[in-house]
Chain A
Amino acid sequence: MRLKKMLAGLLSVAMLVSAVPVAVSAEADDAITFGVICSITGNFPLAGENTQKGVNLALKEINEAGGVLGKELKVSFQDDQGNQTGGMNAVNRLISEKVVAIIGPNMSSNVIAMSDVVASSKMPTLVGGTSPKIEDLGNEYIFRIRPSDNITASAAAQFMCEEQGVKKLGLIYNTDDFGTGAKGVIEEYLADKDVELIAEGVNSGDTDLSGQITKMMAEDVEGMIYWGHDAEVAILARQVNELGLEIPIVTSGSLPQVVSAIDGTYIDGWYVALDECMNEPRKEIEDFVEAYKKEYEDSMPELYAAAFYGATKLLADAIERAGSTDSEAICKALKETKDFPGIIGAYNYQENHDMLSNCSIMQYDVDKNEIFVSNITVE
């Protein structure tokens, strides 16, 4: 009997060791490989799918234009399953594959989790996590290619107070890092202003927000900000309409993710504060939208596709400018980035490792058209 179990134990070790040859040697001579971490499975698969589309399109264009440093640019996608363990495994796998740089993840908690590994392996990492906590890390190898929540949330509050003249502001925020981070920023923005804030939390996975909405109605708020995720914003839109709350509403970038799933009458006149509106009359965006539609059967690109398309282009440009795939050289090139025309804005390196400091406000009409409202730069 014991012998059998010993055999089983040996088998397990053999299995562990045999896992080694699965490692794909990324460092081929004729190609430069970078890694992308995104949520392919798990609770946020949509972001991962769009990230892949954006990166693949950028990759195709770069390689058609002759690649980087005369070599072909390749990508290795890794799934973080939307959780921390998955994220850590993904980043370690990419490091062991010896990729030149990493793009992603877009979950802030995963960015924080992998910060130490990234720093100790000196891996240039272009992250999409928007939590203000990321700049507190002070990690020399992490560059943020999307506007921080500090910027979008502050812009949303600024828009509500200055352009809508709201004196009593409601806030429904997700209780995770995304929502609570924004809550802090909005509180800070309102600190020296004569505006009252009524804040209510919502959990990921909640299926009924009528409690929060009734609270807002009871408090007679004049305008409302929603800062949370996709599934809940769809419910919010329906219930706000059913309960008859008729005030200006600004949501986080989650609304566009589910707009296909929401009845147009629900969100008529709603505002969204997000990285970029795909209808802004700007040349880079128009070119990108056209290329994207051509590649993906006429579907309109969204935030993640645009952000990570831009990030891929930025990375390629940085490698080209660095003249090598050495990590320090790439980081140096990234730090020298000035007015690089990304899709969601011009990339400029800042002291806090943010590459962007502006975001857009857009509005939906009843036919779910996205109307560009304004572009707000936050100091």
Chain B
Amino acid sequence: MASQIIQLIINGVAMGFIYALVSMEYTIIYNSTGLLNFSHDKFITLGAYIFAGTFVLGIGVNPIVGVLATIITMFLFGVIVAVGIFNPLRNMPSRLFAIMGTIALGRIISEAIRLIYGATAKTVPGFITGVYRIGSIVISKATLVIIGVSILVVVILQIYMMKTKAGKAMRCVNQNKTAATLMGINVSRSIMITIAISAVICTIIGVLVVPLYSINVSMSNTIGLKGYAAGIIGGFGYLPGAIIGGLLIGVIENLSTVVIAPVYKDCVSYIIMIIVILIQPRGLRALIRRKK
């Protein structure tokens, strides 16, 4: 029983880091544009397909080169989306239009994927496979890679936001667009870079889940929604909270399978999210800020 619980926690932490990355990826867009990217799960799928379908299986490059090439492609894709879609949507009179716009974008991406790559599920053979055993506990390599890479992404993003000029500009834009414009910051360009970075994080998520799932059109639907739950629990728009929220959801929903039927696992995350919204909409952020 004890080892079963540890096992569930380990798998929960790995999924938790995925949720955390998902919630970071849309939080930075939300912070800088005030828009929620409802096509973010499709970005993840697209990243996985470009990596596996185009670079590794199509052209046949080494997976590491493939990851880099995919990141560059998706960065450019992010720039195009920012200029073509997010910038006009950002200035719309109602949020509703922006939500519709990103939903439409998501549908276009998933249909385009189906038409370009076909409906057959894909995988990259031998990409981060294998397990380590400690007693009766099994840790897959993919789990370790997910945890390592996630921490790396978090650290790099933090350094970028705190130390570089572009990162500082990004934080200014988050806080006050008018003031940022007056200070000579190019808001549109800052937003463009933010969306491109978000697309890159999506790519990383997409590549990280390749060893976990088969690559198919609906692979990221569930993690997309769970990412929202993670963001809410951590406090919307608050990056450290997003990470803690992701980990919490990953662990709690896995542990819940000990008590209730595993089929209700997804319900658990959503219900926690609704409860948090009703009791304290600011989530963990409220707790942390209060201590200060």
Contacts and interface: CB of A to CB of B under 8 A. Distances in A.
Interface of A: 41, 43, 45-46, 48-49, 175, 200-203, 205-212, 214-215, 217-218, 230-231, 234-235, 238, 241-244, 257-258, 260-265
B280 interface: no
A234 B120 CA distance: 13
Contact of B121 (A202, A217, A231, A238): A231
B152 interface: no
B11 A201 contact: no
Nearest to A299: B120
B215 A203 contact: no
B176 interface: no
Contacts of A48: 119
Interface string B170-199: 000000000000000000000000000000
Interface size range on B against A? 35 or more
A207 B262 contact: no
Contact of A212 (B126, B212, B214, B262): B262
Contact of A214 (B4, B15, B212, B217): B4
Contacts of B4: 214, 217-218
Prevailing SS type, chain B contact patch? mixed
A163 to B, nearest CB: 29
A262 B263 CA distance: 24
Say whether chain A's binding surface is mostly helix, strand, loop, or mixed.
helix
A263 B129 contact: yes
Contact of B214 (A206, A215, A218, A262): A262
Contact of A263 (B118, B123, B262): B123
Given A208-B254, A261-B123, A45 B217 contact: yes
B266 A45 contact: no
B214 A258 contact: yes
Contacts of B7: 210, 214, 243
Interface in B188-237: 211-219, 221-223
Contacts of A203: 263, 265-266
B11 A208 contact: yes
B262 A230 contact: no
Nearest to A50: B119
A119 to B, nearest CB: 32
B140 A242 contact: yes
10 contacts: A202-B263, A206-B222, A211-B262, A214-B4, A230-B214, A238-B140, A241-B131, A260-B123, A261-B122, A261-B216
A234 B214 contact: yes
B214 A202 contact: no
**Best-surrounded residue of B123, B131, B222, B262 (most CB of chain A within 10 A):** B262
A206 B254 contact: no
Given A45-B114, A201-B261, A206-B222, A230 B126 contact: no
A260 to B, nearest CB: 6
B138 interface: yes
A241 B140 CA distance: 10
Given A211-B254, A231-B214, A235-B213, A244 B133 contact: yes
Nearest to B12: A208
Interface in B14-29: 15
B8 interface: yes
Given A201-B261, A234-B214, A258-B214, A210 B8 contact: yes
Contacts of B257: 211-212, 215
Contacts of B138: 242-244
Contacts of A238: 140, 211-212
Contacts of B265: 203, 206, 208, 211
Contacts of A234: 121, 123, 213-214
A264 B157 CA distance: 37
Contacts of A205: 218, 221-222, 266
Given A207-B213, A231-B213, A261-B214, A45 B119 contact: yes
B131 A242 contact: yes
Interface in B59-98: none
A264 B126 CA distance: 9
B19 to A, nearest CB: 10
B121 A230 contact: yes
A257 B217 CA distance: 14
A235 B7 CA distance: 16
A241 B129 CA distance: 11
B34 interface: no
Nearest to A205: B222
Given A211-B262, A261-B122, A231 B111 contact: no
Given A202-B262, A243-B138, A41 B111 contact: yes
Most buried by A among B15, B118, B212: B212
Which 10 pairs, one residue from A and one from B, show the smallest C-beta to C-beta distance?
Answer: A211-B257, A261-B214, A261-B123, A45-B119, A234-B214, A46-B119, A211-B262, A261-B121, A201-B263, A49-B119
